[in-house]
Amino acid sequence: MPEAVIVDTLRTPIGRAFKGSLAQLRPEETGAFVIDRLLERNPDVDPALVQDVIAGVGMPQGLQAFNVARIMSILSENLPETTTGVTVSRYCASSLDAIRHASNAIKNGEGDAYVAAGIEFVSRFNERTEVAGVEDRNEKLTGEHDGYPNVYIDMGVTAVNVAERYGVSREAMDDYALRSQHLAVESQESGFFDREIVPTPTPNGEVATDDGP
pLDDT tens-digit map of 36-55: 999 999 999 999 999 999 99
Task: Write out pLDDT tens, residues 144-199.
Answer: 888 888 888 888 899 999 999 999 999 999 999 999 999 999 999 999 999 999 99
pLDDT for the residue 138 = 87
pLDDT for the residue 44 = 97
**Distance from C-alpha of 88 to C-alpha of 55, rounded to nearest angstrom:** 6
Question: What mean pLDDT do residues 111-126 have?
Answer: 92
Confidence of residue 64 (pLDDT cuts 50, 70, 90): very high
pLDDT for the residue 144 = 80
Confidence of residue 9 (pLDDT cuts 50, 70, 90): very high
pLDDT for the residue 213 = 82
pTM value? 0.90
pLDDT for the residue 132 = 56
Q: Class for domain 27-130+195-207, per CATH?
A: alpha beta
Look at 86 and 144; give whichever has higher pLDDT: 86
Instruction: Return the domain boundaries, the chain.
Output: 27-130+195-207, 136-184
Q: Where is average pLDDT lowest: 90-99, 115-124, 145-154? A: 145-154
Question: What mean pLDDT do residues 75-97 have?
Answer: 97
Radius of gyration, CA atoms only, the chain? 20
**Distance from C-alpha of 128 to C-alpha of 92, rounded to nearest angstrom:** 21
- In the chain, the percentage of residues whose pLDDT exceeds 70 is 95
Q: Does the pLDDT of residue 127 top 70, yes or no?
A: no
